[in-house]
Structure 1
Amino acid sequence: MLVPFLIMLREGIEAALIVGIVASYLKQTGRDAWMPAVWVGILLAVALSLFVGAGLQMVSAQFPQKAQEFFEAIVGLIAVAVLSSMVFWMRKAARSIKSELHASIDSALSHSTGQASALIALVFFAVAREGLESVFFLLAIFQQSTNNDALLGAVLGILVSVVLGYGIYAGGIRMNLRRFFFWTGLFILFVAAGILAGTLRHFHEAGVWNSLQTVVVDLSHVLPVSSPFGTLLSGMFGYQDMPTLGEVIVYVGFLAISIFMFLRPAGGRETAATASRPTN
């Protein structure tokens, strides 16, 4: 429940920030009459996300067992890709997202015709990105969940993000967004590592991957995955009480690379390149 809550809280706040920036700029520039177009874009993005999620869930239910395992592995890979891209995109774009959105709004409303469609498209693509990322993550989590806790956590995350997003827009709530995105981003990388290790397990059960299946350590008598704490670790970080060599390699390798890139100072390459240029 905690993992989908935190992920949807972060996704929801990202979407709320984008919508809040758009709404604030329209209000500041005396163009708040265009807000209905913003709402149309939001509703279309939500409808698309729900449609894609329901469609994938219905299609997967028709697969035989091995095909189901393969499908879950593919969904897991997509979830890892979108979660990782979400973390690194926000880390890179956080400083310039406001000015870029302002420029996009000015461009959309600068034409004599088609302004409403352009503004709808702007908001639609911005919100749909967050929505589709959420769909693939939730599919990967729901496939590993045996109860409704994951769904409840996701709904609570969305509701809280809406409240916080409105509070930030209205000025009544102040958050250190930089710190929020840093810690949630780091947490998401651990979640993604667990999903990736689970993906390898699904490939094995589908008969696609059969290498590196040696059990590295047997913790079933110390911390079984069926225990309350084991279940919590499994739901949050993909813990297994009998991990195979392949799962350990994938888990540790992904974390080592992604955390190194995440903690690397932003703009480090550009700074180094500038420092190495000869001066006249």
Structure 2
Amino acid sequence: MRHKHILYILFSLAVLFKSACPAMAAQTPEQQQNVQVAWRLLDYLAVDYAGAVKDGKVISESEYSEMTEFSASVTERFKALPDGPEKASLQSQALEFQNAVKTKSSPEIVAQKAHALGAHLLAAYPVSLAPTTPPSFEVGQKLYTDNCSGCHGVKGDGKGPNAVGLNPPPIAFVDLDRAQHRSVFGLYQVIGQGLDGTAMPSFAQLPDNDRWALAFYVGSFAFKDVKRGEQLWKSDASLRKRFPDLAALAKVAPAELAKDIGPENAYALIAYLRTHTAEVTNNTGTVAISHQRLDEALAAYKLGEFHKSEELALSAYLDGFEPVEPMLAARDGTLLTRIEKEMGSLRSSIHQHEDVKIVSQKIGTIQSLLGQAEKALAPEASSNTSTFVGAFTILLREGLEALLIVTAMIAFLKKAERTEALPYVHGGWIAALLAGLATWAVATFLIGISGASRELTEGFGSLFATVVLLWVGIWLHGKSQAQEWQRFIQQSMGNALSKGSSWFLFGLAFVVVYREVFETILFFAALWTKTNGLVILAGSALAVAVLMGIAWAMLRFSQRLPVSQFFAFSSGLIAILSVVLAGKGVAALQEAGLIDVTQISLVPQIELLGIFPTLQSLGAQVLVLLVIAIWLGYTRFKDRSIQPAQ
């Protein structure tokens, strides 16, 4: 049966790789260029068609001629796309779009079809839509002054000294009606390739990053309310989730964003992000929420509004700090632990209505630690080494507990010669991996998963697993005596495990694995968009190799152990894991704000063992230990009473 366990590990690795790597259609550089040009033409048509047609009539023959030419070019370029499952559908849409231009459809319909077709194109044939590093606003400004202001004007109004006599005239970047439909990627494409039929030359000789810097700079002329945009960005987590990377920012048109959050908010946010591109790649943006919530919590506490203060302190963790935990765990796990501990201590002090000076001092300490976290999370602090170590430790830490439990279940079934139940165990962990992938998809593309939801899932999953493991550990310990094992064999030999027992094994495997997969995938999803994906894969591969070695050693060791020793060892291991999970479960529910926090200052925090310095989490572990001790005492008393009779 060894091959099944190897497949188990290999499948886990394959799923992790699949969840990390986006599907990319195989394209040559020329084909990628073709996709980019086709997208740029669609983007241009969506914006400029309104200057050619109105109310079903041509209002500019030259503009309309250009529109028909460009729409036909799109259709031809779609014919040159690499073969793929979406090619036929894209070509059909392109013909429909070309016909909409021919029949002089309204600008709204043409723009809608152009944007939809462009989105479909990029989904089927992904290409790079963003710079590799945040463009510099100052570099873009200098490039514009040196290369563009002569025609487009210093203020971007299209009235430069060289604009006289040009037909068509240079674009006025300050024109909001036009700018709201223009994405930065569309500007970047025009800068690199020029614009046929106009005086706009190609600036392909500029380095790629310079062209991006220039595109972001000219794309900011029409949008002014930077301060309001900054407030929106730092206070609204949904907006930060909408722009997880530069690609998302580069391809969005302000008018599209305005449909969701209103023109005033959309234009302000665009003004801020196009002039502060580093904010999109810097995952410390939400830490500003923590600073703000902590200040508000202190103000509320001074006014005697203790419940409000406690809620604000909880928000400082869940809404501000929790989203950056994956990155900080990869770069400075010690600092992460300190901040979590201090956050819990603060909520405990607020709940107990301690002196305002103590609360103020604790908030000051946390603010200082958050400042250290922002430095650790800055893009320049990232390194391939820290990313590799972070990915390795995260996967090893999260996978170890699940691996130990599932491997122990497999070893038990083999020892009991109950291999017919193995498919249920394998089905459980496979279903957990698939459910984890579904969770990743939901968290990434649909609704998102809040910090509270994550902590609640981890907390309740841990406590459920604790109860189940206690039951299993007690059962295994009961079979550790030779005569009990023989009695079990005589009663069950020749009879397959009941369907209920088999599905119980499925459920246990699912719960313990999904709990870890849920945490791991959310960590990796956050890391993937901010760091080197290949380095993450390398760290994950090493962690999987270590886990494979542990699984192999456990199975090999269990085969050599006598039956009584095997059950004693297994029950002991499961008892330890149940204590660990009890502590972690309560700690997670405390972080979600469901359970109060009472700090115990003399106890160190050892997350690997599930030890957290709070009365509630330690109390849960003591309770589990008490249950184990009572059972051991009962079995020993029972054995002593049976021996004289025997």
Give TM class, smaller chain.
0.5 to 0.7
**Among 437, 444, 447, the residue aligned to 1:61:** 444
What is the 5 A alignment of 1:29-48? 35=419, 37-48=420-431
- The question of whether the paired residues in 2 share the 8 Å contact of 1:3 and 1:235 is answered with no
Cα distance between partner residues in 1 of 2:473 and 2:558 = 16
Which residue of structure 2 aligns with residue 22 of structure 1? 413
| Distance apart, 1:255 and its partner CA | 0.9
Q: TM-score, normalised by structure 2?
A: 0.27
Verify: 1:258 aligned to 2:620, yes or no.
Answer: yes
Verify: 1:163 aligned to 2:544, yes or no.
Answer: no
- The question of whether the paired residues in 1 share the 8 Å contact of 2:395 and 2:543 is answered with yes
What is the 5 A alignment of 1:221-260? 252-260=614-622
Give the match's secondary structure for 1:94.
helix
| Partner AA of 1:260 in structure 2 | V
- The question of whether the paired residues in 1 share the 8 Å contact of 2:459 and 2:587 is answered with no
Stretches of structure 1 that go unaligned for 5 or more consecutive residues are: 27-33, 204-211, 217-232, 239-249, 273-280
1:189-219 Cα distance to aligned partner (Å, 9 max, x none): 443344334434xx9xxxxxxxx9xxx9xxx
Structure-2 change in CA distance of 1:109 and 1:165 (3 Å): same
| Partner AA of 2:517 in structure 1 | L
Structure-2 change in CA distance of 1:15 and 1:144 (3 Å): closer
Regions of 4+ moved over 6 Å: 172-175, 233-238, 269-272
Verify: 1:74 aligned to 2:453, yes or no.
Answer: yes
Verify: 1:5 aligned to 2:359, yes or no.
Answer: no
| Distance apart, 1:124 and its partner CA | 5.4
Give the match's secondary structure for 1:62.
helix
- The question of whether the paired residues in 1 share the 8 Å contact of 2:408 and 2:570 is answered with no
Q: TM-score, normalised by structure 1?
A: 0.55
Cα distance between partner residues in 2 of 1:130 and 1:154 = 20
Stretches of structure 2 that go unaligned for 5 or more consecutive residues are: 1-391, 528-535, 600-604, 635-646
| Distance apart, 1:52 and its partner CA | 1.3
| Partner AA of 2:427 in structure 1 | L
| Distance apart, 1:9 and its partner CA | 2.6
1:211-269 Cα distance to aligned partner (Å, 9 max, x none): x9xxx9xxxxxxxxxxxxxxxx898699xxxxxxxxxxx98353143123123253649
Cα distance between partner residues in 2 of 1:155 and 1:81 = 26
| Distance apart, 1:136 and its partner CA | 2.6
Cα distance between partner residues in 1 of 2:621 and 2:576 = 12
What is the 5 A alignment of 1:107-186? 110=495, 122-123=501-502, 125-144=504-523, 146-147=526-527, 148=536, 155=544, 158-171=547-560, 176-177=569-570, 180-186=573-579
Give the match's secondary structure for 1:264.
helix
1:31-52 Cα distance to aligned partner (Å, 9 max, x none): xxx74x4443344233322221
Structure-2 change in CA distance of 1:234 and 1:9 (3 Å): closer
Which residue of structure 2 aligns with residue 227 of structure 1? none
Give the match's secondary structure for 1:52.
helix
State the identity as a percent.
Answer: 7
Give the match's secondary structure for 1:68.
coil
**Among 562, 568, 585, the residue aligned to 1:192:** 585
**Higher RCO (CA < 8 A, seq sep 6+):** 1
* Higher gyration radius (CA): 2
- The question of whether the paired residues in 2 share the 8 Å contact of 1:9 and 1:158 is answered with yes
Structure-2 change in CA distance of 1:159 and 1:57 (3 Å): same
| Distance apart, 1:107 and its partner CA | 5.8
| Distance apart, 1:171 and its partner CA | 0.9
Q: Which moved more, 1:181-190 or 1:130-139?
A: 181-190
Give the match's secondary structure for 2:614.
helix
| Distance apart, 1:126 and its partner CA | 0.9
| Partner AA of 1:196 in structure 2 | L
1:79-130 Cα distance to aligned partner (Å, 9 max, x none): 21221232343234313137599969966954xxxx6xx6787555414422
* Two-structure CA RMSD over aligned residues (Å): 4.8
